[in-house]
Amino acid sequence: MEIRNRLNLANVGSDYIHAAGRKLENMHDHLLELESKGEVKVMHINSENRAKDALTLFGWKKLIPTNKIWHHKSCGQCGNIPGYPVSLLWLMNQFGLEYIDERNQTSCTAWNYHGSATSNPVGLASVAARNWHRAYELGYFPVNHCATTFGDYKEMRNLLVENKELRDEVKRIMHKIGRDLVIPEYIIHYSEWVHVMRFEIAKIKKYDLGHVTVTVHPACHTYKMIPEDCIYDKDIYAGKRTAVSTGVALALGAKVADYSTWYDCCGFGFRHILTERETSRSFVMDRKIKPMVREANSDVCLTQDTGCTTTLDKNQWIGKAMGYTEQVPVMADVMFAALVCGADPYKIVQLQWHTTDWRPLCEKIGIDWKKSEEGYNAYLEELKAGGKPQNLYEYK
Amino acid sequence: MEYDEKGVSIVPLDFKKEIFKEARKDFRYDEYVLGCLNCGVCTGGCPPHRFFDFSPRIVLQNLKTKDPELIWTMMDEYIWACFQCFTCAMICPFLNNPGGAIAILREIAVRRGFESARKVLKPYSRVLLKLTAYGNQLSPDMIQPDFFPDWGPDISYASADLKVKRKAIPMPTLQITNLSWDVSPEAMKELYEIFDESGVFKIIEAVDPSLYEIIMDIVEDVRSS
What residues of B are in contact with residue A77 (Cβ under 8 Å)?
180
Contact A9 B198 (CB under 8 A): yes
DSSP 8-state code for residue B112:
T
CATH number at residue B31: 1.10.1060.10
Residues in chain A closer than 8 A to B120 (CB atoms): 271, 275
Quick one: which of A55, A73, A53 has its CA closest to A63? A53
Q: Are residues B100 and B142 in the same domain?
A: no
Total CB pairs under 8 A between chain A and B: 282
Q: What is the mean pLDDT of residues B71-97?
A: 92
Q: Do B103 and B145 belong together in one domain?
A: no
| Closest-CA residue of chain B to A166 | B27
pLDDT tier for residue B216 given thresholds of 50, 70 and 90: very high
Nearest to B165 among A105, A279, A380 (CB): A380
| pLDDT confidence band for B89 (50 / 70 / 90) | very high
CB contact under 8 A, A105 and B181: yes
Closest CA to B183 of A126, A175, A108, A172: A108
Residue type, A5: N
- pLDDT by residue (tens digit) across B149-174? 888 888 888 889 999 999 999 999 99
B83: in domain: yes
The answer to whether A186 and A29 are in contact (CB under 8 A) is: no
Residues in B closer than 8 angstroms to A9, CB to CB, are 197-199
Identify the weakest region by mean pLDDT among B16-20, B22-26, B146-150: B146-150
Tell me if B8 is assigned to some domain.
Answer: no
Determine the 3-state secondary structure of A210 from DSSP.
Answer: coil
Residues of B in contact with A93 (CB under 8 A): none
Judge whether A279 is closer than 8 Å to chain B, CB to CB.
Answer: yes
CA–CA separation, B28 vs B63, rounded Å? Answer: 14
Evaluate whether residue B4 is within a structural domain.
no
Look at chain B and report how many structural domains it folds into: 2
Asked if B17 and B77 sit in the same domain, the reply is yes
Beta carbons of B180 and A108 less than 8 angstroms apart = no
Collapse the DSSP code of B66 into the 3-class scheme (helix H, G, I; strand E, B; otherwise coil) and give the result. Answer: coil
B145 and B216 both lie in a single domain: yes
Cβ-defined contact of A173 to B200 (cutoff 8 Å):
no
How far away is chain A from the Cα of B20, in angstroms, using its nearest Cα? 12
Nearest to A116 among B83, B124, B169 (CB): B124
| A4 at interface of B, judged by CB pairs closer than 8 A | yes
**β-strands A52-55, A61-64 pairing:** antiparallel
Residues B152 and B91 in one domain: no
- A199-202: long-range contacts (C-beta < 8 A, 24 or more apart)? A199/A251, A200/A95, A201/A91, A201/A248, A201/A251, A201/A252, A201/A337, A201/A341, A202/A251, A202/A252, A202/A253
- Measuring CA to CA, which residue among B106, B210, B198 is closest to residue A11? B198
Task: Choose one of B61, B87, B112: the last residue of a domain.
Answer: B112
Instruction: Please give the pLDDT value at position A274.
Output: 85
Other beta carbons less than 10 A from residue A40's beta carbon: 20
Q: What percent of chain B has pLDDT over 90?
A: 76
Sequence-distant (6+) residues with CB within 8 A of A13 are A1, A2, A3, A163, A164, A165, B27
User: Does B211 share its domain with B129?
Assistant: yes
Is A348 in the B-facing interface, judged by CB distances under 8 Å? yes
Q: Are B132 and B68 in a shared domain?
A: no
What whole-number distance in Å separates Cα of residue A287 and Cα of residue A26? 34
Residue at which a domain ends, from B112, B142, B171: B112
Is there a domain that residue B68 lies in? yes
How far is it, in rounded angstroms, from Cα A386 to Cα A384?
Answer: 5
Average pLDDT over residues B50-64: 96
Q: Which pLDDT does position A241 carry in this prediction?
A: 87
Which of A23, A114, A118 has the CB atom closest to B110's CB atom? A118
What local confidence, expressed as pLDDT, does residue B136 receive?
A: 92
Partner B contacted by A82 (CB < 8 A):
yes
If asked whether residues B17 and B74 sit together in one domain, one would say yes
Report how far apart, in Å, the C-alpha atoms of A141 and of each of A46, A62, A66, A98 are. 9, 14, 9, 11
The confidence score (pLDDT) of residue B120 equals 87
Kindly report the CA angle at A275 between B73 and A103, in degrees rounded to 5? 120
Residues of A in contact with B199 (CB under 8 A): 7, 9-10, 120, 122-123
**Distance between first and last Cα of chain A:** 49
Is B75 in the same domain as B108?
yes
B206 in a domain, yes or no? yes
Q: Given A7, A78, A287, which is nearest B199 (Cβ)?
A: A7
Domain containing B23: what range? 13-112
Residue B2 within a domain:
no
Sites in chain A below the pLDDT cut of 70: 1-24
Domains of chain A, CATH where assigned: 39-190 (1.20.1050.140), 207-378 (3.40.50.11810)
Q: Yes or no: say if A12 and B27 are a contact pair by the CB < 8 Å rule.
A: yes
Compare CB distances from A79 to B83, B87, B140 and report the shortest one's residue.
Answer: B140
CB A78 within 8 A of CB B136: yes
